[in-house]
């Protein structure tokens, strides 16, 4: 009789322990279910996907990806300043950028030097643009002819002369600029160019937006025709 009671107690203890174990397991499952991150809402943040796409690299400039023949067909082989890149919020930056464009000539494409100024239309006041004659005689025709065999174009360098003018009224700016250039041929030959002194004026058309209102070339000297050598060597 005592053995029977002991056996029943032992089984009861096992059942209780089994019940507790089952409750513990169920509790653990419930806890895991509650704490487990929702797949739809948290999966992206908890496990960042591994990118299989190639690493981003800087895109080469259009002219850098062109063939030699395609690049040579571009205006000045793509070396002229792009009007869309010129800062119009700063009058000095605008004047410098405009002057670089105005003195970037291509002997194979430009009928005269005014053609270069017309390319800067985006930077000009409407009044100034209307004064430009696309059919004007080319004042640099002798220079264009001297480098035509090499199909050359200019490489201008622009700097500001020391300021001598007094203070300009608000909304107006004017700078004396010095332009020096050489000619680079599509065959690799480089020619001496020239030097110009010019006055370039700008107005503020609206707050923070300036436009070129005129340019006067005061003097020009030229050494075109004097050959430096072949830059391809």
The domain in which residue 176 lies consists of: 82-230
Residue 74's region, left for phi above 0, alpha for psi from -120 to 50, else beta, is: beta
Average pLDDT of the residues in 43-55: 41
Average pLDDT of the residues in 84-112: 98
Has residue 180 got a pLDDT over 60? yes
Has residue 45 got a pLDDT over 70? no
Judge whether 167 lies within some domain. yes
Average pLDDT, the chain: 79
Q: Nearest CA to 143 among 113, 120, 117?
A: 113
Indicate the pTM of the whole model. 0.70
Model confidence band, residue 10 (pLDDT cutoffs 50, 70, 90):
very low
Q: Domain holding 210: CATH number?
A: 3.10.450
Q: Do the Cβ atoms of 192 and 228 come closer than 8 Å?
A: yes
Judge whether 75 lies within some domain. no
β-pair partners for 157? 180
Has residue 220 got a pLDDT over 80? yes
Q: Nearest CA to 82 among 52, 61, 68?
A: 61
Judge whether 154 lies within some domain. yes
Judge whether 99 lies within some domain. yes
Judge whether 94 lies within some domain. yes
Judge whether 144 lies within some domain. yes
For residue 226, the model assigns a pLDDT of 78
Judge whether 37 lies within some domain. no
124 CB neighbour count, 10 Å cutoff: 22
Task: Determine the number of helices (DSSP H) and then strands (DSSP E) in the chain.
Answer: 7, 5
Has residue 26 got a pLDDT over 70? no
Number of domains in the chain: 1
In the chain, which residue ranges form alpha helices assigned H by DSSP?
Answer: 2-35, 39-46, 68-73, 91-102, 114-118, 126-130, 141-147
C-alpha 173/C-alpha 202 separation (Å) is 5
For residue 224, the model assigns a pLDDT of 86
Q: Do the Cβ atoms of 73 and 63 come closer than 8 Å?
A: no
For residue 48, the model assigns a pLDDT of 40
**Percent of the chain at pLDDT above 70?**
65
- The per-residue pLDDT for range 131-174, each reduced to its tens digit, is 999 999 999 999 999 999 999 999 999 999 987 656 889 999 99
Judge whether 30 lies within some domain. no
Has residue 25 got a pLDDT over 60? no
Average pLDDT of the residues in 97-107: 99
Average pLDDT of the residues in 198-212: 98
For residue 225, the model assigns a pLDDT of 74
Residue 214's region, left for phi above 0, alpha for psi from -120 to 50, else beta, is: left
For residue 51, the model assigns a pLDDT of 41
**Three-state secondary structure call for residue 59:** coil
C-alpha 23/C-alpha 29 separation (Å) is 10
For residue 65, the model assigns a pLDDT of 64
């Amino acid at each position: 009789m005592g053995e029977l009671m002991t056996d029943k107690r032992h089984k009861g203890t096992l059942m209780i322990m089994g019940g507790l174990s089952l409750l513990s397991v169920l509790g653990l499952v419930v806890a895991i279910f509650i704490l487990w991150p929702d797949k739809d809402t948290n999966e992206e943040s908890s496990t960042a996907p591994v990118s299989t796409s190639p690493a981003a690299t800087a895109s080469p400039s259009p002219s850098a990806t062109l063939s030699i023949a395609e690049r040579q067909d571009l205006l000045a082989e793509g070396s002229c300043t792009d009007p869309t890149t010129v800062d119009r919020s700063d009058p000095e930056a605008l004047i410098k950028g405009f002057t670089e464009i105005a003195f970037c000539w291509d002997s194979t494409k430009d009928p005269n030097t005014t053609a270069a100024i017309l390319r800067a239309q985006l930077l000009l006041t409407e009044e100034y643009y209307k004064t430009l004659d696309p059919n004007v005689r080319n004042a640099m025709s002798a220079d264009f002819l001297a480098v035509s065999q090499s199909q050359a174009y200019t490489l201008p360098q622009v700097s500001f002369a020391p300021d001598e003018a007094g203070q300009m009224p608000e909304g107006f700016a004017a700078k004396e600029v010095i332009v020096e250039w050489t000619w680079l041929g599509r065959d690799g030959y480089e020619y001496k160019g020239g030097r110009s002194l010019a006055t370039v004026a700008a107005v503020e058309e609206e707050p923070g937006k300036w436009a070129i209102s005129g340019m006067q070339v005061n003097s020009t000297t030229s050494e075109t025709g004097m050959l430096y050598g072949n830059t391809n060597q």
